[in-house]
Structure 1
Amino acid sequence: MSTSKSQADSFKALVNGLREAIREPEQFTLSYAAESSAFVRFNHAKVRQAGQVQQASVGLKLINDGRHADLDITLSGDAHVDAQRLAEGLQQLRDTLPLLPQDPYLLLNYTVREHPLPDTEQVVAEITRAAEGLDLVGFYAAGPISRGFASSSGAFGWHQANSFNFDFSLFHANGQAVKASYAGHDWNSEGFARRFQQAREQLEFLGRPLRTLAPGQYRAYLAPAALEEIMGMLSWGGFSAQSIASKSSPLQKLYAGDHSFSPLVSLDEQVSGSLSPAFSGEGYPRSDLKLIVEGKAGAQLVGSRSAAEYGLTANGASGGESPTALNMAPGALADAEILKQLGTGLYISNLWYLNYSDQPMARMTGMTRFATFWVENGEIQAPVSTMRFDDSAYSLLGSQLEALTEERELLLSASTYSQRATASALLPGALISKLTLTL
């Protein structure tokens, strides 16, 4: 029996037992999360720690008379023990519900992607071979991630997807570093070799004397990892129905029609084919959404509470109403032409410490990080000292956006806090005519 089928059967058994234990007019929802992950930590290009994590848990919500309470339960893998834990959790929630107020915004309502993953030993061998003679620090995580949902109304959903994520840095003897990642569903040796070679080439440039720039406006190329930081900021409430309705969204002016992005920018929440399940933690079905269409506002992310509060239709958004499977349309700029088209300006590999300096105008500030280079006449000249930028997304992805790259990079969340995350972003690089540096 496959691991996926075994887990699904165990989940079904818990659901069936819970349905028998429920007393009218009680209702429940039961979410499931599991993983079987290989983790490998590298330091100085050698394996320093290796391990395997297998874990599963359920999130039980009990609903009665407009009141609801939640409880997370770690599963043991023993059917009898897990059934007992669930029964005890159910009673704990029954004892809690009478103490809670009614919730005025309560609203109630099977996929398996078996991508083959390489043997961990093969991956480790390829990494150590590629990093020979280099100071590499990295973390590799891979394996299937499962999610499930069931409710007392008969709903049942199951999702499993395989993925890998190698997040790494190459350090120069002077302490400077190049940060990169290689992630996806299918490990491709040639694809990994190309990504690693790009990082190795950038590492060599870090040995040159640092160039310090004066504050001002510069042409710039934002690599996909740098663009991801900007998109991550916009995702903090930017597409949220609750934030838009309460006029606190950083993209308020986009949804009001007062501002727009470049027609080159089209952004989807692409659930299909992603690591994210096609149902929310509350069991609502999720489908692909067009968030930005050729620079104009598209759909909003609507969770069940926003749907009840603002008279909207829930579309499976999480409680925070943030996208978890971003997909930006590619452009026409070939990777081989990036430096030539940039001409003279900044090549920015990463950004960090971003925050809003003027949220209603989607204006953000942050720092360059890792491999940022000064380019002249299409050739890298020197690494650049850490600089702060302060600019609006309506400029960076709007009036000043010249081109997006043909090739895109899949960036998976490297978070393993509590469990491996399923968030992803498929993004191109962006060529920008003016980026404002303040110090």
Structure 2
Amino acid sequence: MSVVSRGYFDGLAQAVCDAARDGERSSLLFKAESSDFIRFNHAAVRQATHVEQAVATVALTQGQRRAEARVTLSGRLDADVAALRSELDTLRTMLPDLADDPWLLLPERPVRSERHETGTLPDAGRLVRCVAEAAAGLDFVGFHAAGPVVRAFADSAGTRHWHHVETFHFDWCLYHSADKAVKTAYAGAHWSDEEFARRVGHGAAQLALLAKPARALKPGAYRAWFAPAAMAELLGALGWGGFGLKARRTGTSSLMRLAHRDAVLHPDVNLFEHPALGSAPAYTAEGFGRPERISLIERGLATDTLANARSAREYGVTANGANPSETPEALSLLPGQLSDARAVAELGTGLWISNLWYLNYSDRQACRLTGLTRFACLWVEDGRPVEPIGVMRFDDSFLRMFGEGLVGLGDRAELIAESGTYLERQLGSLSTPGALVEGWKLTL
């Protein structure tokens, strides 16, 4: 039986839920995948691997006491049922020695959700042929991950969640020399040979510019267009404590000035946590359902926060489906009015920023970020890309950049899937348009 099948999960769920005794609540958090991983170098296969794995977290609750254990599963239902029941017996012996957890909060009524989506994914042979044809003659270096991923939950109180998606993610670089490369990604549930070839071709067209000597920039303020990949880095950094309820209540959020209305963003900035837009599950590790959309910033003003169950209990508010760290999993910045097709013309003279990296806060309370430019960042003159720029460090406040500094947002949002595969394939995503900013501060 496949570890990503519904029948396998249902068998585990029944065993775990039936094991609860009077006064107890048992639960099963289930994660599984059947993934193909292919690594390329010089447009040729360098590593090909298939991984099928499943892990379960079982928990036992009695009153305000809760214990849990994580178990790697074999895929053999009888053996895995026995292993989970054994873990529950161990947890049962631990509960009397545990102190009450004052912030423990579980759903009061059964919650149910189901999402089962199948994709059109390329098999390994087709993918290799696509790369060989589209990247012929190019130094193509990339990593492809694809296949079904399952996240599911059940508890003895009647809550049931089933989340099955089939997705792919392909990250690659077209390498020129030294630190010069063009980075591209393609992700989704429905693969297109033509779209993949188009993206490779678009990157290849930029290699001629990278062959030119890099322009040395002086520190200062520049007009800059941030491509969606660069925007994803900025918004991702903003999510490190910026939107969480606990960070807001303890004064450690990077958006405290926005929350207190000491600062406002441009009216075009509308930011939401939007689980229904991406591939993330519609429930939490405790079994709470997630709203389809949570408003975080509207018309430049701070609105709601991400509240997980523990913070909700501590501060007496309603939980809204946040994860334990209260970080976004499906952040969505709504598009604006600037034409993406005319982005270079709208920029005029300034910087085209394709990617950023190594971001961190240089002043959290001022929401000031620092980081480096990366890959194909270009100098644009009179609406025409001229040459690459050398690696530069920026240091600027997000509140300034997207407040008084924001000229406008692009009219098309791009869904950027999280590419992490450490321990398991990630299902987070971020949707964002590009952005034109005046006065972006480069420091060295």
The TM-score normalised by the length of structure 1 is 0.96
- Which secondary structure does the structure 2 equivalent of 1:398 belong to? coil
- In the alignment, which residue of structure 2 is the partner of 1:46? 44
1:79 equivalent in alignment to 2:82: no
Q: 2:272 aligns with which of 263, 268, 273?
A: 268
1:49 Cα deviation (Å)?
1.0
CA contact (8 A) 2:346 2:383 kept: yes
Where does 1:219-368 land on structure 2 (aligned, <5 Å)?
A: 219-287=223-291, 288-368=293-373
CA contact (8 A) 1:31 1:59 kept: yes
1:175 Cα deviation (Å)?
4.4
CA contact (8 A) 1:389 1:438 kept: yes
Q: 1:101 aligns with which of 99, 105, 112?
A: 99
- In the alignment, which residue of structure 2 is the partner of 1:216? 220
1:230 Cα deviation (Å)?
0.7
CA contact (8 A) 2:61 2:67 kept: yes
**Unpaired segments of 5 or more residues in structure 2?**
108-113
Determine the C-alpha separation between the residues in 1 that align with 2:116 and 2:402.
36
Q: 2:200 aligns with which of 174, 196, 210?
A: 196
Count of aligned positions: 437
1:20 Cα deviation (Å)?
2.5
Q: CA RMSD in A?
A: 1.6
Bigger mean CA deviation after superposition, 131-140 or 59-68: 59-68
The code of the aligned residue for 2:440 comes to L
CA contact (8 A) 1:253 1:360 kept: yes
Determine the C-alpha separation between the residues in 1 that align with 2:137 and 2:126.
19
Q: 1:424 aligns with which of 421, 425, 429?
A: 429
Q: 2:67 aligns with which of 69, 74, 80?
A: 69
- Which secondary structure does the structure 2 equivalent of 1:76 belong to? coil
- In the alignment, which residue of structure 2 is the partner of 1:415? 420
CA contact (8 A) 2:266 2:406 kept: yes
1:150 Cα deviation (Å)?
0.9
Determine the C-alpha separation between the residues in 2 that align with 1:273 and 1:344.
35
4+ residue runs of structure 1 moved beyond 3 angstroms? none
Bigger mean CA deviation after superposition, 22-31 or 211-220: 22-31
The code of the aligned residue for 2:118 comes to E
1:117 Cα deviation (Å)?
2.2
- In the alignment, which residue of structure 2 is the partner of 1:382? 387
Change (3 A) 1:377 1:273: closer
Cα displacement string for residues 48-87 of structure 1 (whole angstroms, at most 9, x for unaligned residues): 1112111111111211232212211111111111011101
Determine the C-alpha separation between the residues in 2 that align with 1:245 and 1:325.
23
The code of the aligned residue for 2:415 comes to L
Q: 1:176 aligns with which of 165, 180, 192?
A: 180
Determine the C-alpha separation between the residues in 1 that align with 2:120 and 2:271.
28
Determine the C-alpha separation between the residues in 2 that align with 1:170 and 1:412.
20
CA contact (8 A) 1:146 1:161 kept: yes
CA contact (8 A) 1:174 1:207 kept: no
**Unpaired segments of 5 or more residues in structure 1?**
none
CA contact (8 A) 1:221 1:432 kept: yes
Cα displacement string for residues 240-260 of structure 1 (whole angstroms, at most 9, x for unaligned residues): 011111111111121222212
The TM-score normalised by the length of structure 2 is 0.95
